[in-house]
A and B are shown apart, each in its own frame.
Chain A
């Protein structure tokens, strides 16, 4: 039985037996190369649920501040986000039923648009691992594996780290040569080159805060950007303020970010947001040996310390 059918079966059972109030998953509303989050409460509607490489959203985003019991379709990275949220007391373990999906990677549709030189895709049909895209004046067969999101290319957590039901067998680990390759390239360039790189990518930002809203871990009732007393950061697109917004938002994900890529995918202007968050994740790993969202009750790196933490940078 394919995973989509298994998923629907499990969802139906959960709703029929009233073990959950809602199943949060993905459905296909017809837009090419996309799925969209859905909230299923009626067992008769479970056939709306789909599972395919276009299921890119991190649905853990919808779990905070819920008052009901929810089942959620969660890929490896999504389950890590759920672990972090449970550890931070934002959701109660007993109120979430995790339908863990081993995931071979999701498609980054911006890569497809790039490949098609921004061609207007009017239709996309996925069969096995081939996507047939059609525009008014073109048609092309694309391999799913050629257009996976960057975060998926270096994924070390394809299987759910925590779940109530796992839909499908574990996937073998990906042979990841160097997940921090791009970060290291930047680290090895000069300070001027790095400044120019970040100034250029961050100057595209229009301060829409989609990155913040898409991130499951940005759940603060009042974000630092919205504080007036004191006003930590200005709200215009002034480059200094924009850079500060991004580095501090990234800083606030220290030891928590699971690199699901939702931030970067949501950006309408293609700002390289993950170049910041991934750098911090790399430093957390190197300095403290920690990785976010792998275990319940793990200690958050910045709320913890070891007496022999690195301090070679301190005079």
Chain B
């Protein structure tokens, strides 16, 4: 458990596919479902569109956690975007955790347009997992390189 500054709240970025997961998030809102406010949503057409760099750069820029969510396999609006995403993220998640990123910073889910409850549940789960890990430090890009050899 890392030292946590007072009043620190996890900042989590979520890449949601517009057809399923984003609609699911919308449903959660319309249903007045309460969930942690720590997630900032970026809407993408499909989970297959998510470039691994989006996840890595988010971590570099200081996001404490990343969530990527798409349609359930078989339900992708573009037929198979999420199948490619599934393979890509399996590799990426393993790679990130292998190089020492704490397990629990990067998350993936399938949330359909009708799963408002599930979306809220996922967000709460991700937020609490990231909260326990504390602020992100490992991949975060810090102060400028000054060039003086140390």
Contacts and interface: CB of A to CB of B under 8 A. Distances in A.
Contact of B139 (A237, A240, A315): A240
Interface centre among A187, A224, A301, A305 (most CB of B within 10 A): A305
Interface string A265-296: 00000000000100110011001100000000
B109 interface: yes
A280 B86 contact: no
A125 interface: no
A132 to B, nearest CB: 40
Given A287-B91, A305-B86, A309-B87, A240 B141 contact: yes
Contact of A195 (B84, B89, B100, B140): B100
Determine chain A's interface SS by DSSP, over half rule. helix
B80 to A, nearest CB: 7
A302 interface: yes
Interface stretch (B4-12, B23-31, B38-46, B52-60): B52-60
Contacts of A309: 83, 86-87, 90
B102 interface: yes
Given A195-B138, A251-B92, A314 B86 contact: yes
Interface in A226-266: 232, 234, 236-238, 240-241, 243-244, 247-248, 250-251, 254
A251 B95 contact: yes
B77 interface: no
A169 interface: no
Interface residues of A, number: 45
A302 B91 CA distance: 10
A234 B122 CA distance: 33
A174 to B, nearest CB: 26
Interface of B: 52-53, 56-57, 60, 73-74, 80, 83-84, 86-103, 107-110, 122, 125, 138-142, 144-145
Interface of A: 186-187, 191-199, 224, 232, 234, 236-238, 240-241, 243-244, 247-248, 250-251, 254, 276, 279-280, 283-284, 287-288, 301-305, 307, 309-311, 313-315
Given A241-B60, A315-B125, 13 more contacts: A194-B98, A197-B100, A232-B53, A238-B142, A243-B99, A244-B56, A244-B57, A248-B53, A283-B91, A287-B87, A302-B91, A305-B83, A315-B108
24 contacts: A191-B100, A191-B102, A199-B100, A238-B141, A240-B141, A247-B95, A247-B96, A247-B99, A248-B56, A250-B95, A251-B91, A276-B95, A283-B91, A283-B95, A288-B87, A302-B84, A304-B87, A305-B80, A305-B83, A307-B74, A307-B83, A309-B83, A315-B108, A315-B122
